Structure 1
Amino acid sequence: MKYDVIIIGGGPSGLMAAISAGRSGAKTLLIEKGSKLGRKLAISGGGRCNVTNVLPDDELIAHIPGNGRFLYSAFSLYNNYSIIDYFESLGVKLKEEDKGRMFPVSDSAKTVVQTLIKELDVYSIDSRLNTKVEAVDYGEQQHQVILEGGEKVECTSLVIAVGGKSVPHTGSEGQGYAWAKKAGHTITELYPTEVPMTSKEKFIRDKVLQGISIRDVELTALKPNGKPIKTHRWDLIFTHQGISGPAALRISQYVVKALKKFDVDELTCSIDTFPDESPESLSQKLIKASERQPNKAVKHLWKEEIPERYLLFLMDRTSFDPMSTFHHLEKKKVMELAGLMKDFRFKVNGTLPIEKAFITGGGVSLKEIIPNQMASKLMDRLYFCGEILDIHGYTGGFNITAAFSTGHVAGMNAAERAIIQY
């Protein structure tokens, strides 16, 4: 069987590439080694599917710290608003939530996945599930995809959309890097991003704070000399291994790089639980809260401001009696506690492995990719899209936006190149 375009990988970028190729008039085949298409889409956004983010292009790219600037060309052809228009034109109503995140009104990722699968039928796109690609052979006039069992399928243009090495149960096991290398491509160093961080601190090992979630904190990773590397403001959760939640996930890539750069086993992180308060204004706030109910123990009053277990933990660190009342408050002690609420420092020693990360850092070198086509500079009629490329963003709809955008551009150009070939 001969196709104009074959796409390997049925994730978000592969689905979009297939639809884009089919819509451009190419006879298209989508190959997926798993039993379902869109598996990573189905678990994104906690199963609700964070389809994209409505931030303007410049801010969108700032939230893609892994080579986001490379995407300006792709976004000029197909950006976040193109994604919103596309899904709404297909009857998938979207809603905006905090920090610009866009979700389907149904709150179900299945809505998004099923809509894309239906689009495959609209454009008569063939799809083969449970089909493992063993090898890829590149040729001057056509490429050949060799399937498990020895079956060979030919195409004029080939799109590789198999993802990175993160979340392997969705099918992303890094197999595409070998096919890229075979075409002469460089694979930049792979590392985990958007991944929970680990710590050997006694309070972590003893699970003192496990399960505690703190909303709207500033988390800062510090260099060995104490200077900040990066700060992110969002929610944080303590785990039995360290810290997770959006703030921790966003900081993780900077910790991975800094541990290697400074050749150290641990780095210090700082949590500011009250980013909008100074230590002085926070201590005054605590004192005034106690003054309003002078006979009540402060632990009962201040837990309105901060999770009780975390409050008691910080009180213990400063030898502050949680049963103190306003009548016995020492201003110096309150200041000390406020200081710790503003700057609680602890050591992290790394992250969970790349397989546990949401996103893979590194991938096919962008120096070897034409940005407005997603085409290889080294092999004619070869295209890449999605996470296999050396592009990564923060959680919040940024990676899916990059996947849909690069997928659309890759599929469209693969189709045009295949049809021109004739």
Structure 2
Amino acid sequence: MSRVVVVGGGAAGMMAAIIAGKRGKEVILIEKNEKLGKKLFITGKGRCNITTDKDIEEIIKNITTNANFMYSALYTFSNYDLMKMIEDKGVKLKVERGGRVFPESDKSSDIIKCFEKYLNENNVKIMLNTKVTDIIDFKGKIWGVEIEGGEKIKCDSIILATGGKSYPLTGSTGDGYYFAKKLGHSIIDIRPSLVPLIAEEEWVKELMGLSLKNVEISVKHKNKIVYKDFGEMLFTHFGVSGPIILSASRKIIDILPQKVEVLIDLKPALDYNELDRRILRDFEMFKNKQFKNSLNELLPSKIIPVVIKLSGIDAEKQVNSITKDERKNIVKLLKEFKITITGTRPIEEAIITAGGVNVKEIDPSTMESKIVKGLYIVGELLDVDALTGGFNLQIAFSTGYCAGLNC
């Protein structure tokens, strides 16, 4: 019986181990943490956005790097296959905004328990609290692994599923890149993706904790809009975060350190003229009040002092003496609320890692290395990444499945 060692017990590693086990292989799953699926546990704020309900062509559109590499894997094991696999173990799923799929219970632990059941059913041997220190190859073919303490485990194939460099507390510390490079693979520049952004403006600190729903953002570079999104965002002590900002960050990391601006449309449901009429109506209602007390119907209270400051209009000014030009400036400010991005938070705070093992060196239908026979590389280690919404986990599961099927 041939032996497969899977290094890393995250989404891709567990899937690979299950499928290899199902095929009757002797499978050893090695995880350096004290439990499996540690990163899976915290995804979707602990609710686990397991996948998306979008069709494969839509998934491909949401993959920002090397999307074509994923065609074969996604058609071999689709998001619908994944959902069926999970529901077959009694875990009910639900679909939320943007096609995001979650367990009905909102507990990521239910997903991990489901995969643990599959691992046990398929006789996968699990070694927790065990660190792989070396991958041994001989004449361009896999020989085995060495674990901490010097013990060597011989095997016929290795599936490398150690994750990227984001969230190092979950065990993603970049070991896989080291192993892949040592075995002759080239690594495309590693950088944070789906990461909070740092703003130049000092006033963002005043907005810390403010969450905005149903806003539209536009990313502007060299006077051109290069990205747009609609949804929810959050102000932090250093800048901005939240779903639409994280997705925008994937575009922004490729532009920095050049100047990038994020324009927030605080009222996307109204065009400039409609918003002007709306403000005029509010001003009519509050005509005897001061400007600082006239925006409560229009904006969250936390943002009002900042809007007043940026408008350049005296906060004490009577509403009935605000000029048409001043009002037009307020409209522009609310439709193009500008933040200048100077950088990203560190890779440790990123949801995923951009860059990784060059996919030209990997067979897209099997995930086997073209350099070392018997070596399979899956999940976040690959230079493939996507926007938020369950797409990155689907990449992990589909690539893990292909490796398990072909090892």
Q: TM-score, normalised by structure 2?
A: 0.94
Partner of 1:190: 190
Instruction: Render the CA deviation track for 1:149-193: whole Å, top value 9, x for unaligned.
Output: 110111111100000111000000101112112222111011100
Alignment of 1:163-182 (within 5 A): 163-182=163-182
- Aligned counterparts of 1:42 and 1:397: Cα–Cα separation in 2: 14
Alignment of 1:65-104 (within 5 A): 65-104=64-103
Give the match's secondary structure for 1:83: helix
- Aligned counterparts of 1:23 and 1:297: Cα–Cα separation in 2: 72
- Aligned counterparts of 2:354 and 2:297: Cα–Cα separation in 1: 39
Alignment of 1:151-230 (within 5 A): 151-204=151-204, 207-223=205-221, 225-230=222-227
Partner of 1:48: 47
Q: 1:234 deviation in Å?
A: 2.0
Q: 1:297 deviation in Å?
A: 6.5
Letter in 1 for 2:144: Q
The answer on whether the counterparts of 2:292 and 2:308 sit within 8 Å (CA) in structure 1 is no
Q: 1:295 deviation in Å?
A: 5.9
Does 1:241 find its partner at 2:238? yes
- Aligned counterparts of 1:200 and 1:366: Cα–Cα separation in 2: 36
| CA separation of 1:290 and 1:362: change in aligned 2, threshold 3 A | same
Instruction: Render the CA deviation track for 1:45-74: whole Å, top value 9, x for unaligned.
Output: 000100101111121111121222211111
| CA separation of 1:190 and 1:302: change in aligned 2, threshold 3 A | same
Give the match's secondary structure for 1:257: coil
- Aligned counterparts of 1:270 and 1:250: Cα–Cα separation in 2: 15
- Aligned counterparts of 1:138 and 1:30: Cα–Cα separation in 2: 19
**125-134 or 136-145, which deviates more:** 136-145
- Aligned counterparts of 1:92 and 1:296: Cα–Cα separation in 2: 56
Paired residue for 2:356, among 355, 363, 371?
363
Q: Which runs of 5+ in 1 are unaligned?
A: 415-422
- Aligned counterparts of 1:11 and 1:162: Cα–Cα separation in 2: 7
- Aligned counterparts of 2:138 and 2:74: Cα–Cα separation in 1: 31
Letter in 2 for 1:84: M
Does 1:392 find its partner at 2:353? no
Letter in 2 for 1:237: L
Q: 1:282 deviation in Å?
A: 1.0
Aligned residues: 406
Letter in 1 for 2:237: H
Letter in 1 for 2:82: I
- Percentage identity across paired residues of the two chains: 39
Partner of 2:19: 20
The answer on whether the counterparts of 2:135 and 2:146 sit within 8 Å (CA) in structure 1 is yes
- Aligned counterparts of 1:128 and 1:305: Cα–Cα separation in 2: 57
Q: 1:229 deviation in Å?
A: 2.4
- Aligned counterparts of 1:305 and 1:55: Cα–Cα separation in 2: 35
Letter in 1 for 2:132: V
| CA separation of 1:351 and 1:5: change in aligned 2, threshold 3 A | same
Instruction: Render the CA deviation track for 1:14-72: whole Å, top value 9, x for unaligned.
Output: 01111111112111010001111000000000001001011111211111212222111
The answer on whether the counterparts of 2:267 and 2:335 sit within 8 Å (CA) in structure 1 is yes
Letter in 1 for 2:52: N
Instruction: Render the CA deviation track for 1:235-255: whole Å, top value 9, x for unaligned.
Output: 111111111111211111222
Give the match's secondary structure for 1:259: coil
Instruction: Render the CA deviation track for 1:335-389: whole Å, top value 9, x for unaligned.
Output: 2111001112232110011111110000010111111111111111111111000
For the aligned residue pairs, the C-alpha RMSD in angstroms reads 2.0
Give the match's secondary structure for 2:135: strand
Give the match's secondary structure for 1:184: coil
Does 1:255 find its partner at 2:249? no
Partner of 1:279: 272
| CA separation of 1:411 and 1:332: change in aligned 2, threshold 3 A | same
The answer on whether the counterparts of 1:280 and 1:335 sit within 8 Å (CA) in structure 2 is no
| CA separation of 1:142 and 1:67: change in aligned 2, threshold 3 A | closer
Q: TM-score, normalised by structure 1?
A: 0.91
Does 1:268 find its partner at 2:261? yes
The answer on whether the counterparts of 2:142 and 2:375 sit within 8 Å (CA) in structure 1 is no
The answer on whether the counterparts of 2:363 and 2:369 sit within 8 Å (CA) in structure 1 is yes
Give the match's secondary structure for 1:102: strand
Partner of 1:342: 335
The answer on whether the counterparts of 2:190 and 2:353 sit within 8 Å (CA) in structure 1 is yes
Q: 1:291 deviation in Å?
A: 3.9
Q: 1:259 deviation in Å?
A: 1.7
Q: Which runs of 5+ in 2 are unaligned?
A: none
